[in-house]
Amino acid sequence: MSPTSLAGRWLVAPALRTRPGIGLWMVGLAVLAFLRAPYILTSGRLWAEEGSVYFARAVTEGSWAGLTFVYQRAGYFHLFANVGTWFASLLPLPVAPLATAWLSYVLVVVLLWIVITWPSELLTSSLAGHAAASLLLVGALAHPEVWLNTINAQTYLGVLALLLLYVKLEDLSRTRFLVSSTLLGIGSLSGLYSVILAPLFVIRALREKTFRASVHASVIAGAALIQ
């Protein structure tokens, strides 16, 4: 075994081979995600169209109308932005911007959790999972100017769909499979980054011929038709 392989196993062993280690690593990643731009999560922010279009519509035309809103200049349905700004519109105005920021933060943490803990044919080693999680926190998507808002959350939902394409579905618990199907549906109804993967999910379902793969394919294909 090469020295590089040995070093990689030594570095990731404490974090990934015990549940307390995994939990500690997740806490560390969550703290780092917070520290990327703490002012967003302490002061709140409505970013660009998130405030001027989605939130404004939810406030002026009624929050329920905002749930089915389609921004014509964008040309697609954005469920995550609709739900985030709908919820924000129910809160007092001074704290409304915190709602969308924290909702986006929770999405990032969930994505990190999936990368670190779910069985995958893409991230086949502990080191690969840790590297992918780290890249999500230091990559271009994590730049403070476009970080943690419901509009740009569709990029993370697109990454999530890609990860789910390679998740070992039969190794998931029933609860995790339900979570995966729900997240895939939300992502596919929140922009175009996820739905462009619909043909690959269909191909996977035809190849594997399992119930779970068929459910995922049906969810994303149905959302693609709606989009």
The pLDDT tens digits of the residues spanning 169-191 come to: 999 999 999 999 999 999 999 99
Residue 33: which residues within 8 A CB-CB, separation 6 or more? 105, 108, 109, 112, 137, 142
Cα gap 226→189, rounded to integer Å: 8
- 128 or 95, which is more confident? 95
pLDDT of residue 138: 76
Q: Does 142 have pLDDT greater than 90?
A: no
Encoded tokens for 37: 């731009």
- 220 or 67, which is more confident? 220
pTM of the predicted protein model? 0.85
Q: What is the DSSP letter of 167?
A: B
